[in-house]
Amino acid sequence: MVKKIIINADDLGYSEGINEGIIEAHRKGIVTSTSLMVKAQAVIHGMNLAKKNPHLGLGLHFQVGNSDLNLLSQVKKAISAELVEKTKMEFLEQVEIFKQLTGKMPDHIDSHKHVHKTPGIYPFIKSWCKKNRIPFRFQVNFIDSFFATSSMEEQLPIENLITILRNLPDGISEIMCHPGIVTPDLKSSYSKERESELKILTSDQIKQEINRLGIKLISWKGVLSN
């Protein structure tokens, strides 16, 4: 069986530098898909760049505000029915904003800190995706181990990604990544590390390894909900 991989860059719209980094990782590298934060500060800039790159898959990066719903700290806890309903409405609102901004439905759904996997929320989003024939994160084999850390002094070993590629299972997998360029509008604890990811995702060594292994790069566009 052919091994297929979606390389999805999260956080489109978070900052202009992240937007530019994602597009560079697509044009010059192996990124095949990205997900848009529709309420982020640089969303219009990111959307305009995505429109100029029609081969780049574009999904929704659902996000929940910490000060309001605070789901990020409650993923493994019981959540009130009121909070669940509020989150469902927030999700549907963000889908509508995505449609207004892009003129189309997202080609996949994922979320900040995987909030869509929250108990009480996940069944709703999974059902919505199935009804609308839109794939979602965790529907295929998911890989989130491609990261830099502060202990690496902002340098991510290229061997990390090579090891992941050499150990891919048959079928479709998704690698989540966060490429970007540090600009003054980026307020994040994960900043310089994004540039390290960008360097690897655009490296000739990685492209050559993918070709050598016979791995097919795809986006979410060809993956249907089931």
Identify the pLDDT of residue 34: 98
As given in the structure block, the two tokens for residue 68 are 């309001």
Gap between the Cα atoms of 55 and 78, Å rounded? 41
- Tell how strand 109-111 and strand 33-36 pair up: unpaired
For 33-75, what is each residue's pLDDT tens digit?
999 999 999 999 999 999 999 999 999 999 986 544 455 444 4
**Could you tell me how many residues make up the chain?**
226
Q: What is the CA radius of gyration of the chain?
A: 17
- Let me know: does 47 contact 36? Beta carbons within 8 Å: yes
139: helix, coil or strand? coil
Arithmetic mean of pLDDT, 77-106: 89
Asked if the 3-222 domain carries CATH number 3.40.50.2000, the reply is no
Domain ranges of the chain: 3-222
Flag whether pLDDT at 155 surpasses 90.
Answer: no
Q: DSSP letter at 152?
A: G
